[in-house]
Structure 1
Amino acid sequence: MKVLIADDHPLVRDALARVLAGLDDGLEVAEAGDGHELIAQLEAQAFDLALVDLLMPAMNGPEDIRRLRQRWPALSLVVVSGQVDPGIVRAVLEAGAAGFVPKTGAADVLVVACRTVSAGGVYVPPHALLALRDAHAPARRDVVLTPRQQDVLALLMQGEPNRRIAQQLGVTEGTVKLHIASLLRALRARNRTEAVFRARQLGLTGH
């Protein structure tokens, strides 16, 4: 796995790299200190995952996340930021980020986030989800799911258990659980039943 860490503080980049060291035995890490270096690195080589500070120099918040997603649609972007306002979290996700991790969070949160995103999911830490609910953010009708998430959702809506979903998709049950967890976050649901109900409310049917 090739990961790009973009943050204007060298100590933060070093700390993030150390946390991710155990994520993959073959992990390759590159660094960028501002938005210009971030673009230069992305133009120079392909990355599987990018951890991006939201407010570093030459980086102007969620709109730049949207531009990055448009230019490199296959790149998984996780915002790592000290800005945890519910409106910022919501804007970042709507701009196309696959995850949001507060800099105040524990190291294992970052690992869980990267694993979830690498499996095709979307990660938002629990307390950020609670903050969004507390802010009474309206349910989005433009929820965007990955093709694999749509496959899992379609089988959930048919009432299939994890074992059958894994068999039909040719993946492990552990991978299915990761996809279901990401669906619950994306749909702001507490369980499978609520996820199916909300998906139908939003007109989502999977494939």
Structure 2
Amino acid sequence: MKNNLIIGIRMTVVLLVLFMVIYPLSVWTVAQLAPNNGEGEVVVYKQNKGYSNIGQNFTADKYFWGRPSAVDYNAAGSGASNKGASNEEYLAVVQGRIDTFLLKNPTVKKLDVPIDLVTASASGLDPNISVASTKVQITRVQKTRKISSEKLNSLIDANTEHPFLGIFGPTKVNVLKLNIALDQLN
């Protein structure tokens, strides 16, 4: 019994040092080699500072909208709603997002609303949306800004990020970068 207790204490101390000192220091060291010392990609536009790797809240009709956030875009506390797909409260929230989207985009049918425009990501901070999610918003942005759909399509194409090595990850559009490029057109 005494031997087992000593082994357990030693194992605890070793794991504490490993996971509370060595691992965090190694992750921090690798982050220092990354661009901007692991702080993410800082974007400064019109004297406002933002991060391209953290979702931003765009609700004006003149902008492309991103994914909803379960944490109100607060990067200090990321997280999902943790409500199941059959939860009535969750379904009501999603239906409200669909209704708002359809109200602002009357030419879109309910079945054509991409799922990533009405559901939050697991972190609640996803900065990217699918290409389909940008294309479905073109009519609203076009009417508000008086820009041709061809110009908006080419802007979306220019801001589309393809999978790493052509196979890892989805094709996506960073909403912040797209909206900054959109502002720079005018």
TM range (shorter): under 0.3
TM-score (norm 2): 0.27
TM-score (norm 1): 0.25
Higher relative contact order (CA 8 A, sep 6+): 2
**Structure with max Cα Rg:** 2
